[in-house]
Amino acid sequence: MTDPRYDVLAIGNAIVDVISDATDAFLESHGLDKGSMRLIDEAEAESLYEAMGPGREISGGSAGNTAAGLAALGCRTAFAGQVASDQLGAIYKHDIEASGVDFLVEPRGDVGATARCLILVTPDAQRTMNTFLGAANQLQPGVIDEAAVADAGIVYLEGYLWDLPHAKEAMEKAMDVARAAGRKVSFTLSDSFCIARHRADFLRLIEEGKIDILFANEAEIVELAKKGDVDEAVEAIGPKVPLLVVTRSEKGAIAVEDGHRARVAAEKISQLVDTTGAGDLFAAGFLAGQAKGLDLEQSLKLGAIAAAEVIQHYGARPEADLRELASAIL
Amino acid sequence: MTDPRYDVLAIGNAIVDVISDATDAFLESHGLDKGSMRLIDEAEAESLYEAMGPGREISGGSAGNTAAGLAALGCRTAFAGQVASDQLGAIYKHDIEASGVDFLVEPRGDVGATARCLILVTPDAQRTMNTFLGAANQLQPGVIDEAAVADAGIVYLEGYLWDLPHAKEAMEKAMDVARAAGRKVSFTLSDSFCIARHRADFLRLIEEGKIDILFANEAEIVELAKKGDVDEAVEAIGPKVPLLVVTRSEKGAIAVEDGHRARVAAEKISQLVDTTGAGDLFAAGFLAGQAKGLDLEQSLKLGAIAAAEVIQHYGARPEADLRELASAIL
pLDDT in tens, A82-122: 999 999 999 999 999 999 999 999 999 999 999 999 999 99
Among residues of chain B, what percentage have pLDDT more than 90? 95
**Which residues of A fall within a CB distance of 8 Å from B98?**
20, 52-55
Distance of CA A298 to the CA centre of its chain: 20
pLDDT at res. A1 = 61
Are the C-beta atoms of residues A12 and A158 closer than 8 Å to each other?
Answer: yes
Cβ-based neighbour number of residue B178 at 10 Å: 26
Domain with B305 in it: 6-14+60-110+136-325
Alpha carbons A85 and B218: distance in angstroms, whole number: 43
Cβ-based neighbour number of residue B231 at 10 Å: 12
CB contact under 8 A, B52 and A98: yes
CB contact under 8 A, A55 and B91: yes
- Which of A54, A59, A99 has its CB closest to that of B317? A54
CB contact under 8 A, A95 and B54: yes
pLDDT at res. A53 = 98
Residue B255, domain member (yes or no): yes
Considering only residues B293 and B330, tell me which one the structure prediction assigns the higher pLDDT: B293
pLDDT at res. B3 = 85
* Burial classification of residue A208, based on how many CB atoms lie within 10 Å of its CB (0-12 exposed, 13-18 middle, 19 or more buried): exposed
Residue A24, domain member (yes or no): no
Alpha carbons A43 and A48: distance in angstroms, whole number: 9
- Which of A21, A52, A87 has its CB closest to that of B86? A87
pLDDT in tens, A154-187: 999 999 999 998 888 889 999 999 999 999 999 9
**Which residues of A fall within a CB distance of 8 Å from B52?**
94, 98
- What's the DSSP call for residue A84? B
Distance of CA B133 to the CA centre of its chain: 15
What is the CATH number for A277?
3.40.1190.20
The values of phi and psi at residue B127, to 5°, are: -115, 140
How many structural domains comprise chain B? Answer: 1
Are the C-beta atoms of residues B85 and B107 closer than 8 Å to each other?
Answer: yes
Alpha carbons B250 and B304: distance in angstroms, whole number: 10
**Which residues of B fall within a CB distance of 8 Å from A87?**
86-88, 113
Residue A35, domain member (yes or no): no
Residue B119, domain member (yes or no): no
CB contact under 8 A, B57 and A58: yes
Computed over its alpha carbons, how large is the radius of gyration of chain A?
A: 18
**Which residues of B fall within a CB distance of 8 Å from A42?**
none
Residue A321, domain member (yes or no): yes
Nearest C-alpha of chain A: how many angstroms from B186?
26
pLDDT above 70 (res B225): yes
pLDDT above 90 (res B259): no
Are the C-beta atoms of residues A69 and A59 closer than 8 Å to each other?
Answer: no
Our CA angle for A210, A216, A218, nearest 5°, is 145
Are the C-beta atoms of residues B306 and B282 closer than 8 Å to each other?
Answer: yes
Residue whose C-alpha is closest to residue A247's, from A260, A263, A226, A258: A263
Torsion A273-A274-A277-A279 (CA) sign: positive
Scanning chain A, the segments in alpha helix (DSSP H) are 24-29, 42-51, 62-72, 87-98, 146-150, 167-180, 192-207, 218-225, 230-237, 278-291, 296-310, 322-325
B interface residues, A as partner, C-beta within 8 Å: 18, 20-21, 49-50, 52-59, 68, 86-88, 91, 94-96, 98-99, 113, 314-315, 317, 319
B222-228 — which CB contacts under 8 Å span 24+ positions? B223/B189, B223/B192, B223/B195, B223/B196, B223/B199, B224/B189, B224/B195, B224/B199
pLDDT at res. B1 = 61
pLDDT in tens, A49-76: 999 999 999 999 999 999 999 999 999 9
Residue B229, domain member (yes or no): yes
pLDDT at res. B226 = 97
CB contact under 8 A, A87 and B113: yes
The values of phi and psi at residue A106, to 5°, are: -70, 135
pLDDT in tens, B147-204: 999 999 999 999 999 999 888 888 999 999 999 999 999 999 999 999 999 999 999 9
CB contact under 8 A, B315 and A56: yes
Residue A207, domain member (yes or no): yes
- Averaged confidence pLDDT in chain B: 96
**Which residues of A fall within a CB distance of 8 Å from B19?**
none
Residue whose C-alpha is closest to residue B318's, from B66, B45, B14: B66
Among residues of chain B, what percentage have pLDDT more than 70? 100
pLDDT above 90 (res B2): no
Mean pLDDT of the A284-305 span: 98
Mean pLDDT of the B91-100 span: 98
pLDDT at res. A238 = 97
Alpha carbons B36 and B187: distance in angstroms, whole number: 19
Residue B239, domain member (yes or no): yes
- Which of A54, A99, A113 has its CB closest to that of B95? A54
CA dihedral A261→A267→A271→A274, nearest 10 degrees, is -40
Are the C-beta atoms of residues A105 and A81 closer than 8 Å to each other?
Answer: yes
CB contact under 8 A, A91 and B55: yes
